[in-house]
């Protein structure tokens, strides 16, 4: 076995123990990796903590109702890049005139497609007189099924009887409610609902015939 001279061994050992030079490629690569890791971590934390101002609905708004600047408030939220564009940013004025395309809950972030020009709305608000108080759960921004029980015209006025109730509208958005609490005649209430244009003839016919109307809250509707 050939042994290296003692002088060569001491030189190799000195090279291993020498302080790395700034020109050492390994040191430069290590510094670059550390700097990249720090920059990446800072960017991730900054993105996670970044908030944007978007509009939220101050109070519940029924579908078809006018939406104005005073109906909105600004909230700071964290949204990812793919979601942020869906909502109306603070400082962006809503279209004028603007109506709610669907029911909006109090505190809900305002999607851009939730408001629009009234001409886009394929429904009309109709006031329905109801006997007695409103059922529990009927509220602005919620939904109800509208039913009617007409009288049998063939029985004559003296013996008029109610026929089988029929459903006129399913899942109608509630625009406004009046439970008659402020009226001297507290024997009835009124609810205004958004009726699809296709269902208007049946609803208006029921009102013309003085049919008995009832609304049934839809479970799980907007709060």
- Given the candidates 1.10.10.10, 3.90.1210.10, 3.60.20.10, 3.40.50.2300, the CATH classification of the domain at 52-119 is 3.90.1210.10
Cβ burial of 128 (10 Å; 0-12, 13-18, 19+) is buried
B/e letters for 19-30, b = 16+ CB within 10 Å, e = fewer, are eeeeeeeeeeee
Please state, for a pLDDT cut of 90, what percent of the chain lies above it.
19
What are 4-31's pLDDT values in tens digits?
Answer: 555 554 555 555 555 555 566 666 666 6
pTM of the model: 0.61
DSSP state of 220: T
How many Å is the Cα radius of gyration of the chain?
35
Q: What long-range pairs does 98-101 form, CB within 8 A, spacing at least 24?
A: 98/66, 98/67, 98/68, 99/64, 99/65, 99/66, 99/67, 100/61, 100/62, 100/63, 100/64, 100/65, 100/67, 101/63
User: How many angstroms separate the CA atoms of 200 and 194, rounded?
Assistant: 10
User: How many angstroms separate the CA atoms of 70 and 1, rounded?
Assistant: 94
Mean pLDDT is lowest, of 30-34, 170-174, 199-203, for 30-34
Reply yes or no on whether the pLDDT at 143 is more than 70.
Answer: yes
What mean pLDDT comes out for the span 125-154?
85
Reply yes or no on whether the pLDDT at 204 is more than 70.
Answer: yes
Q: What is the total residue count of the chain?
A: 223
Cis peptide before 97 (omega within 30 of 0): yes
Reply yes or no on whether the pLDDT at 203 is more than 80.
Answer: yes
- Name the band, by pLDDT with cuts 50, 70 and 90, for residue 217: very high
Q: Where are the domains of the chain?
A: 52-119, 122-217
CA distances from 198 to 79, 124, 169, 195 (A): 38, 10, 10, 8
Q: Where are the alpha helices (DSSP H) in the chain?
A: 6-17, 25-49, 81-84, 200-208
What are 34-60's pLDDT values in tens digits?
Answer: 766 766 655 554 455 678 889 999 888
Alpha carbon 146 to chain centroid, angstroms:
24
Supply 120's token pair: 């886009």
Reply yes or no on whether the pLDDT at 76 is more than 70.
Answer: yes
- Name the band, by pLDDT with cuts 50, 70 and 90, for residue 159: low
| pLDDT value of residue 6 | 54
B/e letters for 157-172, b = 16+ CB within 10 Å, e = fewer, are eeeeeeeeeeebbeeb
């Amino acid at each position: 076995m050939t042994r290296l001279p003692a002088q060569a061994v001491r030189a190799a050992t000195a090279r291993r123990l020498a302080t790395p030079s700034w020109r050492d490629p390994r040191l430069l690569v290590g510094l670059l990796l550390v700097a990249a890791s720090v920059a990446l971590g800072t960017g991730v934390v900054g993105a996670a903590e970044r908030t944007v101002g978007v509009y939220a609905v101050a109070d519940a708004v029924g579908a078809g109702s006018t939406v104005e600047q005073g109906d909105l408030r600004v909230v700071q939220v964290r949204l990812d890049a793919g979601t942020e564009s869906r909502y109306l940013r603070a400082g962006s004025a809503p279209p004028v005139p603007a109506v709610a395309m669907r029911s909006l809950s109090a505190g809900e972030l305002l999607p851009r497609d939730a408001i629009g020009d009234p001409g886009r709305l394929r429904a009309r608000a109709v006031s329905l007189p109801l006997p007695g108080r409103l059922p529990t759960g009927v509220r602005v921004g919620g939904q109800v099924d509208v039913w009617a029980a007409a009288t049998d015209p063939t029985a004559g006025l003296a013996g008029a009887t109610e026929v089988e109730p029929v459903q006129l509208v399913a899942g109608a958005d509630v625009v406004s409610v009046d439970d008659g609490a402020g009226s001297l005649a507290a024997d009835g209430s009124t609810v205004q609902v958004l009726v699809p244009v296709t269902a208007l003839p049946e609803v208006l016919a029921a009102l013309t015939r003085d049919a008995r109307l009832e609304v049934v809250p839809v479970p799980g509707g907007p709060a």
